[in-house]
């Protein structure tokens, strides 16, 4: 059990979240049942994880610090159902790659990974009991409700597959089969969480609480940071030069603090990670500027940084430089772990094979003969050798 009081635990569990559904369930476990809270966070191994993954990792760190029992669901079947973002034959390799990467991120920010439990979705989602519950749930949830629930999570296409309707139903059932009190996710999953609250009791299972992280805007051009959009994200194995190049291309208008993905990243990722690493509740953001532009500067609060940028005392160039340097510091231990772990490397190679280049078709030239309109005139055949020369050759042969 945690040495923290129930109030201290609750503060850590709900810190920096955008929304909490059914907080009384959490308080009842902590205050009345007096046992460790059980939470799961799920991720579908589709595209390569990006810097936005630091947000749920920070929350997992808060949960572990609060004495929570945390399960990480690597939802391999969900990845396949999401409009086949991940082909079934490679999804197992991607699941392994995700596990390596998640552990590496947590280790890099001083989170004890040995207290985490990793579960592969297909390890229980293919059982007869789970399948029967899925049928029961599909008999009480309408097509429109299922479609609406997955609208912000499942990739939307003009002619959606049936798999997109199964996806949210499985996420509802995962709460029961993982035996947790709470599910953690981004606020983009709110509709699935509501679907769970409205329907899981119809199967005779208890209602759960739901924790929702804020969505971090894309670093490059605002909007949601997406694994499928290379222009909105920085991969967790991105090389330092590439990070600087991408950050330099990011939208960052002078004085604009509303549509600024860089400031949002400092607030929601860099600040909380500094607090986790040093455990003193402090904020620090360092920018190594040349002396001719004012010299190095350190901001001790996020508000101080935001105010400086809003007043245009801090330029976009300086903000970009500070963010790029900070990201490279975050990624360095993850890249180092990758380079020293062959299994880590193999899981990426097998999970994200290089695209096979299509062979170019060689255009076959048709033989149209020599009498079609516009044909080039053939060069005349060489003139016959003079008769005298032939006779002379024959005479030499006789000799």
- 278-301 pLDDT, tens digit per residue, is 776 789 999 999 898 889 999 999
**Parallel, antiparallel, or unpaired for β 38-43 and 297-299?**
unpaired
Q: What is the pLDDT of residue 35?
A: 95
Burial profile 40-76: b = 16 or more Cβ within 10 angstroms, e = fewer: bbbbbbbbbbbbbbbbbbbbbbbbbbbbbbbbbbbbb
Q: What is the pLDDT of residue 269?
A: 93
Question: Looking at residues 167-173, what average pLDDT do you find?
Answer: 95
Q: What is the pLDDT of residue 365?
A: 65
pTM check: above 0.75? yes
Q: Which helix (H) or strand (E) holds 396?
A: helix 387-398
The residue ranking higher by pLDDT, 88 or 43, is 43
pLDDT band at 398 (very low <50, low <70, confident <90, very high): very low
Burial profile 265-274: b = 16 or more Cβ within 10 angstroms, e = fewer: bbbbbbbbbb
The residue ranking higher by pLDDT, 358 or 79, is 79
**At a CB cut-off of 8 Å and minimum separation 6, what does 169 contact?**
134, 137, 138, 141, 146
Per-residue DSSP letter, 217: B
Q: What is the pLDDT of residue 342?
A: 97
pLDDT higher than threshold 60 for residue 376: no
pLDDT band at 198 (very low <50, low <70, confident <90, very high): very high
Q: What is the pLDDT of residue 83?
A: 62
Residue 16 falls in which region: left (phi positive, over 0), alpha (psi -120 to 50) or beta: left
pLDDT higher than threshold 70 for residue 86: no
pLDDT band at 316 (very low <50, low <70, confident <90, very high): very high
């Amino acid at each position: 059990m945690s040495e923290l009081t129930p109030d201290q635990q609750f503060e850590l569990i709900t810190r920096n979240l955008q929304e909490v559904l059914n907080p009384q369930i959490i308080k009842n476990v902590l205050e009345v049942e007096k046992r460790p809270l059980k939470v799961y966070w799920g991720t579908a191994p589709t595209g390569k994880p990006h810097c936005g993954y630091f947000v749920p990792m920070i929350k997992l760190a808060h949960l572990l610090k609060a004495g929570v029992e945390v399960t990480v669901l690597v939802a391999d079947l969900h990845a396949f159902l999401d409009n086949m973002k991940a082909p079934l034959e490679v999804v197992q390799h991607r699941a392994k790659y995700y596990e390596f990467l998640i552990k590496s991120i947590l280790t890099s920010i001083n989170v004890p990974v040995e207290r985490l439990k990793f579960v592969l979705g297909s390890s229980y989602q293919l059982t007869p009991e789970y399948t029967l519950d899925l049928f029961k749930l599909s008999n009480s949830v309408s097509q429109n409700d299922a479609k609406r629930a997955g609208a912000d999570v499942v990739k939307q296409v003009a002619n959606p597959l049936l798999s997109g309707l199964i996806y949210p139903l499985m996420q509802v059932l995962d709460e029961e089969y993982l035996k947790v009190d709470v599910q953690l996710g981004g606020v983009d999953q709110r509709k699935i969480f509501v679907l769970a609250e409205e329907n899981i009791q119809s199967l005779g299972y208890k209602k759960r609480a739901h924790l929702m992280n804020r969505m971090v805007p894309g670093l490059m051009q605002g909007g949601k940071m997406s694994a499928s959009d290379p222009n909105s994200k920085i991969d967790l194995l991105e090389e330092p030069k590439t990070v600087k190049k991408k950050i330099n291309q990011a939208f960052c208008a002078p004085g604009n603090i509303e549509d600024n993905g860089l400031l949002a990243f400092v607030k929601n990722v860099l600040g909380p990670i500094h607090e986790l690493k040093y455990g003193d509740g402090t904020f620090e953001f360092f920018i190594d500027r040349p002396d001719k532009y004012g010299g190095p500067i350190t901001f001790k609060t996020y508000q101080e940084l935001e105010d400086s940028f809003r007043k245009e005392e801090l330029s976009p160039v300086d903000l970009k430089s500070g963010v790029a340097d900070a990201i490279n510091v975050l990624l360095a231990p993850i890249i180092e772990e990758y380079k020293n772990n062959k299994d880590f490397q193999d899981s990426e190679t097998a999970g994200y094979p290089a695209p096979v280049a299509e062979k170019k078709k060689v255009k076959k030239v048709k033989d149209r003969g020599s009498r079609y309109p516009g044909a080039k005139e053939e060069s005349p055949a060489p003139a016959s050798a003079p008769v005298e020369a032939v006779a002379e050759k024959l005479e030499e042969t006789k000799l």
